[in-house]
Amino acid sequence: MIMNELNLNGAVNLRDLGGLPTVQGKKTKKGKLYRSGSLDRLASPEIERLVEQGISLDIDLRGDEEVRRWVDLLGADERVRYEVVPLLPSIKPEELPKILSAIYLWTLDQSKKDFYHIFSLMLENVEKATLFHCSLGKDRTGMVAALLFLLAEVPRPLIIEDYMQSQTNLKGILEKMEEMNDPALKVFLTAREEDIVPFLDAIDEDYGGVTGYFREIGFSDKEIERIKAILV
């Protein structure tokens, strides 16, 4: 199990991307990038703790309705820059593929401008810490984290393990979602190896690796190295 969680009652699936080994014998930097689920239940002391961690940029990957219904309390703090960059914008659940891995592949192909925006924001904040999140911190957040880990040259088994950690962290929430018996939610109830592996495979097979994908979405080699340097 990868132990890099921050235990806050008001946030689910909140983790530091730091501390994972790379194939170069290094470890990803702690205190630079954080991932999370929704931040609508943060208490004031928890917001203070996140600000004290150096987080000055909050990238919200949720759609407009989610943003309105569940207000990001960290982003509401005047000390934190708040940017909404929806992955899967304006897509109704019934319009998405019915298999989670296919949703990830669709997003990889169709949301290139959004991925470019997300990583460009991180580049603007390299001196401080950035937090990015969606509702559960599993799918949209998981894809962004996987791309960052690939760029940092974290071994694939650890990237998969980190992705699957959401299944453990969200166990109670996912069980309640399953009890709702909502067909639109059913596809999002897992975080298994078979859900993320096709996404990782597509980056290699369709783009020649993660550097090729970052070039495809619009980054120069110099900018790619700067993004990588955020983590290693």
Query: Would you say residue 140 has pLDDT above 70?
Result: yes
Q: Which of 114, 123, 85 is nearest to 224 (CA)?
A: 123
* The pLDDT of residue 64 is above 80: yes
User: Residue 94 has what pLDDT?
Assistant: 66
pLDDT tier at 175, thresholds 50, 70, 90: confident
The confidence band for 120, taking pLDDT boundaries of 50, 70 and 90, is: very high
- For the chain, the average pLDDT equals 92
Please give the Cα distance from 31 to 50 (Å, whole number).
10
Is this structure's pTM higher than 0.85?
Answer: yes
The three-point CA angle 29-35-38 to 5° equals 160
Contact 115, 147 (CB under 8 A): yes
Is residue 121 over pLDDT 60? yes
Task: Please compute the mean of the pLDDT values over residues 87-91 and round it to a whole number.
Answer: 69
How large is the average pLDDT for residues 159-172? 92
pLDDT band at 66 (very low <50, low <70, confident <90, very high): very high
Measured CA to CA, the distance from residue 49 to residue 55 in angstroms comes to 9
Radius of gyration of the chain (CA): 16
3-class DSSP state of 187: coil
Domains annotated on the chain, with CATH: 15-225 (3.90.190.10)
Reply yes or no on whether the pLDDT at 90 is more than 70. no
- Binned at pLDDT 50, 70 and 90, residue 88 comes out as confident
Specify the pLDDT at position 218. 98
